[in-house]
Structure 1
Amino acid sequence: MTIIATGEIFKKKPKTFSHYFEMYLKSVNRNRSYFQALPHRRKVEAHFGSRDIDTITRLDIKNYLLDLPILSRSKAIYLGAIVGTFNCAIDDGVIQTSPAHAIRLPREAKSDIQYFSKQEVKKLLDNAEGDLNPYLLIAFHTGMRPEEVLGLQWGDIGSTHISIKRARTRNSIRPTKTPKGVREVPYPSFIMESVNKLKANSLWVFNLQDTNSLYYRWNKLLERCEIPKRKLYATRHTFATTALNDGLLSINELAGILGHTSPNITLQYYSSAIKSNTVFFEGGFDLFCLKNDTEEKRTLRKTL
């Protein structure tokens, strides 16, 4: 009789984490990064899935995140899935507050980006075999992400520009990382001699059956060239840092080519890689025309 008097009998019975997790997935399935993030979100469900949503504590969540053997910035996907799942349970009226509310991931010192010198790029291109050579020619000369290069179709390659429309991995074809990722980038015409050798009866420039071992062959190429191991993504960083240090592109122009949503993101990534000695004032520089009350030519230029 007590539960009737207190109203407990009318309260909803909390369901499992998995139940509300599926509700959360439905709410984000239109996001551009849905398929990219899905495997990571599923790991959250595998950990908490069978537990009733109201039995999971703030300490449980913190310990789970702490035990993940990845960087804090990579844990954000996992925390986002947890927060979203608990929000669905709140909307359903089975809990009043979320134990994941206001959990903050510790900040880590930002590591410098990794990129190749011009000599290293030449060595890699001279030794790359098969479809790895045209792949690297495109990657080093356009700054495209690895999955964007693999997503190229022959119709995307124009006479002077490449249209980037999609990302492709071994398991999926999906939109680009951000809306700004859909873009056109220029390319030097000389790289097409190698790229055109790939032409076959295929819609795709790169046949995924041949590129399943792309990362393995990339690491072997680095070994063969006696170059320290770096991620394939370093081709993108190499394009960006070289273009900035050689004065070929401004930050704004580079942001557009890389598909960044804002030039601020480009600065955050590459400010540390810009050489301080690439900008200097020539000897006659007199900004306010104070020297001998005469206006001298003022020049600010970048060394190439």
Structure 2
Amino acid sequence: MASTFIYRNKIYMSVQVNGKQRKRSTGLNNTKKNLKYVERELLPNFIIEVSNNKSSNVKLFYYIERFKEEKKHFLKERTYIRYCKMIDKWILPEYGKMKIKDIKISTLKQFLNNHFEEGKTAKTVELYRTVFSGILQEAVYDGVLSSNLFKNIKHPKKKKPVITPFSVDEVKLLLDNSFGWFHNYIGIATSLGLRSGELIALKWIDIGDKEIYIRRTRDFNQDTTPKTESSIRTLPMFAKVREFIDKQRKISGHSEYVFPRPNGLPWSDTQWIAQNHWYPLLKDLALKKRRLYEMRHTFATNMLNSGHFKVTEIARMLGHTTTEYLFNVYSAYIESEKNSFSLNINIYE
């Protein structure tokens, strides 16, 4: 006898074999689509598994597929693709054929340590951990594991991101030595602080008389919604930005996108721009090699150091809901302004 039932808005399966009843959470929310999927795919497999009593021999591969199937319904497409690539490269080849019962805490510690030894950042390794832990959690839902082994492994201390923004003089140097659409690209990137994906996803319909509307980002050759809800924002059309926009309109005003490829189609991502325009420019100017993303940090730090804007205003333009991130990442630049304060100021006068 097999059936499904709902508990705390999650779909569970129940199978009775030889007078014994086995229950298992699917981890899926109670929706018609999920229920249909459970009844057609998961429940028959559960019946076979219980009947053969092979749960102790289930391999990680089985839960990798379960994890992928579940996340397909809940993650943004670009995040889902990123997770799948990560699994297929770092988890599946080495651990996919391992039996769940054979995966030990030492196995997982070694997995994390290997990536640290390869020079991966703590942030990257933490993402690998999150994904691997999510796979094991599927086995916990099934009762194959009593608890998630990652709970017994300490998280590394988070370090502040290391940023290398350009100075005002360096920005001027970049603009003086770039031309055409790439000149305008650098100008807007350093004047508005857009993320790289947001900039190549910018369309002419997003350009108003006094404002610019950020409504999407672009990656994996497709437009998607921005990183967070706060990333959907409206930015002021500064006079300098208007100059770059007007010049770019003469170049690509006939296209849908503000910064299209030479053939008029949108960019898949910013890799080609970086390799063929950005890095060669930095090399020619004898500037330290930095990511395109550093232009966003450049905007933030120079806005802070200008003294013309409130921290809350800068956070809002960057698409952050609070100022916490600004203080965590850019505190050194805020601190650098302290020595310029007059010691004769009395805030109560």
Q: TM-score range by the shorter chain?
A: 0.7 to 0.9
Q: What's the TM-score, normalizing by structure 1?
A: 0.83
Q: Could you tell me which of 307, 319, 329 is aligned with 1:269?
A: 329
Q: Report the equivalent of 2:243.
A: 190
1:283 pairs with 2:349: no
After the TM superposition, which residues 152-167 of structure 1 pair with which residues of structure 2 at under 5 Å, given as runs?
A: 152-167=202-217
Is the Cα–Cα contact under 8 Å of residues 113 and 273 in structure 1 kept in the other structure?
no
Q: What's the TM-score, normalizing by structure 2?
A: 0.73
Instruction: Tell me the distance in 1 between the aligned counterparts of 2:103 and 2:204.
Output: 51
User: Which is strand-richer, 1 or 2?
Assistant: 2
Which structure exhibits the higher relative contact order, with contacts defined as CA atoms closer than 8 Å and separated by 6 or more residues?
1
1:48 pairs with 2:95: yes
1:249 pairs with 2:302: no
Letter in 2 for 1:285: N
Letter in 2 for 1:42: D
1:176 pairs with 2:237: no
TM superposition shift of 1:286: 6.3
Q: Report the equivalent of 2:40.
A: none
1:100 pairs with 2:100: no
Q: Could you tell me which of 167, 170, 173 is aligned with 1:117?
A: 167
Q: Report the equivalent of 1:27.
A: 70
Instruction: Tell me the distance in 2 between the aligned counterparts of 1:144 and 1:278.
Output: 30
Relative distance call for 1:286 and 1:175 in structure 2 (3 A) is closer
Q: Report the equivalent of 2:200.
A: 150
Q: Report the equivalent of 2:273.
A: 214
Letter in 1 for 2:80: Y
Q: Report the equivalent of 2:59.
A: 16
Deviations 1:65-87 (A, max 9, x none): 11112011111111011111111
Letter in 2 for 1:80: T
Deviations 1:171-224 (A, max 9, x none): 343221112111111232222122213325432222246755201110100011
Instruction: Tell me the distance in 1 between the aligned counterparts of 2:323 and 2:333.
Output: 15
Q: Could you tell me which of 244, 257, 263 is aligned with 1:204?
A: 257
Aligned residues: 284
Is the Cα–Cα contact under 8 Å of residues 40 and 77 in structure 1 kept in the other structure?
no
Identity %: 28
Deviates more, 1:275-284 or 1:70-79: 275-284
Q: Report the equivalent of 1:60.
A: 107
CA RMSD of aligned residues (A): 2.7
Instruction: Tell me the distance in 1 between the aligned counterparts of 2:107 and 2:345.
Output: 66
Letter in 2 for 1:276: E
1:39 pairs with 2:85: yes
Instruction: Tell me the distance in 2 between the aligned counterparts of 1:160 and 1:36.
Output: 36
Query: Secondary structure at 2:341's aligned position in 1?
Result: strand
Instruction: Tell me the distance in 1 between the aligned counterparts of 2:345 and 2:179.
Output: 51
After the TM superposition, which residues 132-151 of structure 1 pair with which residues of structure 2 at under 5 Å, given as runs?
A: 132-151=182-201
TM superposition shift of 1:261: 3.1
Q: Which ranges of structure 1 fall in alignment gaps of 5 or more residues?
A: 288-297, 299-304
Is the Cα–Cα contact under 8 Å of residues 215 and 232 in structure 1 kept in the other structure?
yes
Q: Which ranges of structure 2 fall in alignment gaps of 5 or more residues?
A: 1-17, 22-49
Is the Cα–Cα contact under 8 Å of residues 201 and 218 in structure 2 kept in the other structure?
yes
Is the Cα–Cα contact under 8 Å of residues 167 and 175 in structure 1 kept in the other structure?
yes
Q: Report the equivalent of 1:80.
A: 130
Instruction: Tell me the distance in 2 between the aligned counterparts of 1:42 and 1:241.
Output: 38
